Structure 1
Amino acid sequence: MPPYTSAYDCVVLGSGVLGLSIADELTNRGLRVAIVARDLPEDVHSSAFASPWAGANWASFASNPAERRRDITTFRRLGSLAADHPDLVRRTPFVYVWNEGEYDGPWYKDVVYDYRVLPRSSVPPGWTHAVGFTSYTLNPPRYLAHLASSLRSRGVPILRHRVSSLDEAYSLLGPVSLVINATGLGSRTLLGVEDASVHPIRGQTVTVRAPSVVGCFGIKDPQPGGQQCYVIPRPGPEGHVTLGGTFLPNNYSTLPDPDTAERIVKDAYKLCPQLASGSGSGTSRTNSWRDIQIVSHNVGLRPARTGGMRLELENRVLGRVNMEQKDEHAGLVPARGQVGRGREVGCVHAYGIGPAGYQASLGIAEEAADLAVGYLAKIKSKL
């Protein structure tokens, strides 16, 4: 290993919920970390930045043991956050309803609190079946701001910079041997990664003000055309509730569709009429979906990956075209990415989580940190 010193042990690319959570875990383990990102945690209105737009509740749809392990770890750690920061994370009652077929219940019914099948008398009107349990909801903008503030208070810089190639990150802030790639959709075009299996899943939601709504609701019946119906209250004094939504793979549009927005609000009102209570419409008529106080219309592009997220350590050689990288793009790496050619480095890839970012983030952070610490210990032993 060449003799050099650096102010940092590693650089994290990306400041979404995964990048910030991993940086936080690495810092807690004593590593010197810097974050470099195109979008910063405070860029909560950037349509290209998925994390601020999430509904952000814990209702896992993990499909394999690794995903379940990460989600369970996150669930357990959210309990401490809810106790210390109730404006960021809150224990919340959930009700899921359906009409068609049988529903055996989610895999996580023994993880969440007080899971139960609701009696017919407690099923919301319009549905024949329902289950209830208690889990967690988060306030994404507040949660991102909290992570960023905590990191900055411990000396972790969060710098706005757009890199075109992975190799640039190894010299951007002085030479480092390890980079955490948490660039989300950026991993599709980032030179040195160029993962064609990365794609967006378009989600459209509506934020409304409904302080009296304190529970989550969702429909388990299949919905046509990528539609979804859910109601997710956000912790915090604003009384905001997220209504959704859509699940549209490979759709890059970031503009809200008015027809979709109307469908979302109507469906959510049918599921939870309390959304219109306190609207000020008076007692002379019955409230309707039109009385819901709309705060904003939102679109986010969930950073998904065919086959599931990539969470692994890659050994690299700077300046060398990797097997996964297309040869015709090797000459496009900027000059910054040519610094230190031939040096052996490592990269922990953590991208492609899709819509599960918040509910898996703390479990992913622990696994990514294990890989990072193991790699740095290994190269240190070679000195």
Structure 2
Amino acid sequence: MSTYNEFEPKNIVVVGAGVVGLTTALKIQEQGGYAVTIVAETFPSDPKSIRYTSLWAGAHHVSHAGGDAKQQVIDQETFKVMWDLSAPGGDAEGCFLRVPQTDYYYDGRDDRLEWMPDHKYLPGNALISGALTGISFTTLTIDTPAYLNYLLSRFLARGGRIVRGAVQHINQVVEGGPHVFTRGRASPDPVHAVVVCPGLGARTLGGVEDKDVYPVRGQVVLIRAPWVKFGKTASHLDQGSWTYVIPRRNGDVVLGGTKAENDWYPVARPSTTTTILERCLALCPEIAPPEIRAKRSPTIDDLRPLILEEGCGFRPARKGGIRLDTEWIDSGRDSGRIPMIFNYGHGGGGYQSSWGSASIALSLLKQALAEA
């Protein structure tokens, strides 16, 4: 029999420990009145693998919300939080690098980023060959391994808990609680709500099985180029790729990339690495060592000694965009039904929308528990 006191914090289980799961769990834990446990198979401190997408991201905050008003609000809230974190002396300054960013569009679109700091439209004589439009602004880049571990450590420091477990069906944590994976028996305390942030796992997770979720494979090359202190992107998405140069505070630079829907190949393709190097060097010759550029035009052979890593990740995309809603499920106990809050389907925008979508998930949680 449970000895749970109704005045104690509500027990919340978050499924998934990618950037969305970590941010959502942290947002709920810091709200107060909740005891949050993350259940996941993989955590940020684990070795990189194809099963954990968030470590492979570039990443920078460049919203692709376009004319989607709801997504704009989500992305703008996230940028504000990250901008504050990245401030000199900020809580996570070391995880970010504030940089001037230039974006070129071969398809002539407008991502409506006027709200970004220092935003300007580029004149025609400042465009690269083939680009129809372009913009410049100030943004921030994210050292993803450092930032994910910052989120995790901050969550733990606020009293959050983690459990390593491969959740096959949502009922496992609903009925058994988060520690059913480690203790081999159900927790005596009830679970009051489950927040589902499994990324691509939403496609196969029992009790969810969202067939609108699909992978978008992205391949990147990580090089060591501490002299690069700006970002550049050239977008031609209808060809399944775009070219980007994303420097990190630690001196590494991420080069990319690809956008291949339903491509499940789990390791870097050498031919794609060569193509990425060619495109990035054409867009941004400054990625080559300065001493080489001072003597001659660099080639991709000058970049290969700089390579630290090649890899790929599966962006967890979803037809219809992010899922942010609530369903009710039988608890498997005498406590009746409990709410499931969904927050997944971010595609390649998990970092850009993490804090804004976490705020919505928290609001849904509070509303559901008030109705319970």
User: Given the two structures, how large is their TM-score scaled by the length of structure 1?
Assistant: 0.85
Q: Tell me the equivalent position of 2:149.
A: 145
Q: CA deviation at 1:187?
A: 1.1
What CA distance in whole angstroms lies between the structure 1 residues aligned with 2:22 and 2:236?
A: 35
What CA distance in whole angstroms lies between the structure 2 residues aligned with 1:21 and 1:242?
A: 23
What CA RMSD, in Å, does the superposition of the two structures yield over aligned residues?
Answer: 2.2
What is the letter of the counterpart of residue 250 of structure 1? N
Aligned counterpart for 2:16 among listed residues 14, 17, 23:
14
Where does structure 1 lack aligned partners over 5 or more consecutive residues?
319-338
Query: 1:79-98 residue pairs with structure 2 within 5 A?
Result: 79-83=83-87, 84=90, 85-98=92-105
What CA distance in whole angstroms lies between the structure 2 residues aligned with 1:172 and 1:25?
A: 20
What CA distance in whole angstroms lies between the structure 2 residues aligned with 1:67 and 1:231?
A: 24
What CA distance in whole angstroms lies between the structure 2 residues aligned with 1:212 and 1:282?
A: 12
The answer to whether residue 148 in structure 2 is matched with residue 136 in structure 1 is: no
Q: CA deviation at 1:65?
A: 2.0
What CA distance in whole angstroms lies between the structure 2 residues aligned with 1:90 and 1:378?
A: 43
What is the letter of the counterpart of residue 235 of structure 2? K
Could you give the per-residue CA deviations for residues 147-184 of structure 1, whole angstroms, max 9, x where no partner exists? 01111122211221111110111222332120000011
Q: Tell me the equivalent position of 2:184.
A: none
Query: 1:204-353 residue pairs with structure 2 within 5 A?
Result: 204-222=219-237, 224=239, 226-235=240-249, 237=250, 239-278=251-290, 285-292=296-303, 293-318=306-331, 339-340=332-333, 343-353=336-346
Aligned counterpart for 2:215 among listed residues 196, 200, 204:
200
Q: Percent identity between the aligned chains?
A: 33
Q: Tell me the equivalent position of 1:335.
A: none
What CA distance in whole angstroms lies between the structure 1 residues aligned with 2:263 and 2:157?
A: 38
Q: CA deviation at 1:345?
A: 0.9
Q: Which moved more, 1:139-148 or 1:167-176?
A: 167-176
What CA distance in whole angstroms lies between the structure 2 residues aligned with 1:39 and 1:150?
A: 18
The answer to whether residue 110 in structure 2 is matched with residue 117 in structure 1 is: no
Counterpart contact for 2:235–2:242, Cα < 8 Å: no
What CA distance in whole angstroms lies between the structure 2 residues aligned with 1:245 and 1:206?
A: 8
What CA distance in whole angstroms lies between the structure 1 residues aligned with 2:4 and 2:121?
A: 61
What CA distance in whole angstroms lies between the structure 2 residues aligned with 1:101 and 1:313?
A: 37
Runs of 4+ displaced beyond 6 Å:
none
Q: Which moved more, 1:348-357 or 1:151-160?
A: 151-160
Q: CA deviation at 1:288?
A: 1.8
Alpha-carbon spacing, 1:265–1:176, altered in 2? closer, same or farther (3 Å): same
The answer to whether residue 177 in structure 2 is matched with residue 172 in structure 1 is: yes
Counterpart contact for 2:329–2:337, Cα < 8 Å: yes
Where does structure 2 lack aligned partners over 5 or more consecutive residues?
179-186
The answer to whether residue 53 in structure 2 is matched with residue 62 in structure 1 is: no
User: Given the two structures, how large is their TM-score scaled by the length of structure 2?
Assistant: 0.88
What CA distance in whole angstroms lies between the structure 2 residues aligned with 1:136 and 1:44?
A: 25
Alpha-carbon spacing, 1:306–1:113, altered in 2? closer, same or farther (3 Å): same
Alpha-carbon spacing, 1:223–1:374, altered in 2? closer, same or farther (3 Å): closer
